[in-house]
Amino acid sequence: MMLAADAPPPALPHTGGLLLFIDGTAGLLTVAALGIALLLFLIIKVRLQPFVALLAVSIAVGLAAGLSVTELFGTVQRSAAVSVIETGMGGILGHVAIIIGLGTMLGAILEVSGGAEVLSSRLLHLFGEKRAPLAMGLTGLIFGIPVFFDVGIFVLAPIVYAAAKRSGKSIILYAMPLLAGLSMTHAFLPPHPGPVAAAGLFHVSLGWVILMGLVVGIPAVLAAWVYAAWIGKRLFVEVPQDMVEAAEDAKAAVLAEQTAAGRAPQERPVALGTVLAIIGTPLILILAATFSSIALDPSTPRSVIEFFGSPFVALTIALLLAYYLLGFRRGWSRKSLESVSTSSLKPVGNILLVVGAGGIFGAVLKASGVAQALSDTFNDVGLPVIVLAYLISLVLRVAQGSATVAIVTTAGIVLPLVENGGHSQAFLALVIMAISAGSIFASHVNDGGFWIVAKYFGISERDTLKSWTVLESVLSVAGFAVAAALSLAV
């Protein structure tokens, strides 16, 4: 899927800029190194909001590399070409914002309707008590497709508490498989912001990203589940009673709010098939469009398939299905659906701004010539691009903690290595998988997810490092290994 707005601006002559360093590759590489160091310093030490840090560093890198103020910001009269900053922000958000917005609303409807509880209870019943950890893992894997990682924890944690309390075993045995499933979908599959943002920057069809996300992510999550089963038998952590009580209070409060708003859960439970159909519809439509572009010659049937398989159309269809099957058919009012949809979008603003700032960073690197200097240097190193993509993302992730920042920053750095290489969509999707895998390596104390896991499941910091941090590293390394192996064949 190629958008005109996504095309990066051509390299511009360095006239009128505030050139702080010597011209040439060495000077541009110095600018790049200092820019990344400044970004890490602002996020880690100054604790500056990532959007502000990325924007400030983008401006600093552009000016230092020789871009003029007019090239960066445009003119007051608006008669000149669109500025680098506007091109970078608009190009990526034109692709990402709609997908993330629709996916977020879809996840909210599934969450509030009780779809997650139905999914987990049916899987627990199907697999039985002995295989409850596997059922929790599958719950996280399936429910994690349309909902954000932290939302998945908030919604599914009470189910983990119940399973661990009923069995008398360590909560780690049930929490870690669930977390692995949620983390895998968050890292590798649309409509989550990381892979969607990278797909927009690399101009890769979401169908290929979904396909490679499944091919890479499923073996990776299986490896993570093996580790979860091993560590869950060696670290005993009791169910945190205060969190159980807090979850019950929160559930009662949500029920009261829903009842007051006229959208209390219906007595008739949600059917498992309905939940799976709603989650699977956009994935199937998008994949069908991708394969039709390969298998079919240009024709009316192919156009129809590609229309319904457009991510915007596919997610809209899934959302409308959720509105009807989980909302109207179960007694929700239009006002209730509007309320749930609107409230779900509140946390999205920060994500979109960070992704947009990442687009600005990439556009500045391209327009200033820094990207080409990095490309030439990395080519001289001799490492395959997929290895470089993983290592850069891994370093940025470990240094500053945010997976989204690691992905959008790495994508901007790696883009010039692949954009003129004539690579297939499949290969580019695998590079995105490598970037995504690097972005989840070694979640530790500078990552908000680390503290959510520790506090929500009552795990000490030391045991969280032994369980969650290692689990993320296993997921990361296994995902990269699969992506790297597949890249040799596409």
- Stated pTM of the model: 0.84
Query: 3-state class of 408 per DSSP?
Result: helix
The tens digit of pLDDT for each residue in 153-179 reads 888 888 898 889 888 999 999 999 999
- pLDDT value at 3 more than 60: no
Contact predicate 437/446, CB 8 Å: no
Q: What is the mean pLDDT of the chain?
A: 86
Percent of the chain with pLDDT over 90: 47
Residue pointed to by tokens 């200092």: 34
Q: Which of 468, 450, 456 is nearest to 231 (CA)?
A: 468
Average pLDDT over residues 345-371: 86
pLDDT at site 17? 47
Query: 3-state class of 21 per DSSP?
Result: coil
- Which two tokens mark 274? 């309905």
- pLDDT value at 312 more than 50: yes
Distance CA 413, CA 470 (A): 27
pLDDT at site 425? 95
pLDDT band (50, 70, 90) for residue 6: very low
Query: 3-state class of 68 per DSSP?
Result: strand
* AA letter at 484: A
Distance CA 58, CA 52 (A): 10
The tens digit of pLDDT for each residue in 429-487 reads 999 999 999 999 999 988 889 999 998 899 999 999 999 999 999 999 999 999 999 99
pLDDT band (50, 70, 90) for residue 7: very low
The tens digit of pLDDT for each residue in 84-122 reads 898 889 888 887 899 999 998 998 888 888 888 888 888
Comparison of pLDDT for 251 and 354, the residue scoring more:
354
The tens digit of pLDDT for each residue in 243-270 reads 666 656 655 655 665 566 555 555 556 8
Q: What is the 3-state secondary structure (H, E, C) of 261-293?
A: CCCCCCCCCCCHHHHHHHHHHHHHHHHHHHHHH
DSSP secondary-structure letter at 51?
A: H
Distance of CA 373 to the CA centre of its chain: 28
Q: Residue 384, exposed/middle/buried by CB under 10 A (0-12, 13-18, 19+)?
A: middle
pLDDT at site 131? 92
Distance CA 331, CA 316 (A): 21
- Which two tokens mark 5? 């707005």
- pLDDT value at 123 more than 60: yes
pLDDT at site 258? 58
- Which two tokens mark 93? 């958000």
Contact predicate 89/95, CB 8 Å: no
pLDDT at site 56? 94
- pLDDT value at 13 more than 50: no
Comparison of pLDDT for 488 and 83, the residue scoring more:
488
pLDDT at site 80? 47
Angle, CA 100 vertex, CA 403 and CA 224 arms, to 5°: 40
pLDDT band (50, 70, 90) for residue 329: confident
Residue 29 CA neighbour count, 13 Å, CB half? 9
Distance CA 148, CA 145 (A): 8
Distance CA 349, CA 345 (A): 7
- pLDDT value at 340 more than 60: yes
- pLDDT value at 302 more than 50: yes
Q: How far is CA 454 from CA 59, 255, 419, 458, 470, in A?
A: 37, 27, 41, 6, 14
Angle, CA 178 vertex, CA 189 and CA 209 arms, to 5°: 10
Domain residues of the chain, as ranges? 92-222+240-344
The tens digit of pLDDT for each residue in 208-240 reads 999 999 999 999 999 999 999 999 999 999 988
Comparison of pLDDT for 486 and 25, the residue scoring more:
486
Average pLDDT over residues 54-78: 84
pLDDT band (50, 70, 90) for residue 16: very low
Contact predicate 438/411, CB 8 Å: no
Distance CA 61, CA 322 (A): 45
Distance CA 51, CA 355 (A): 8
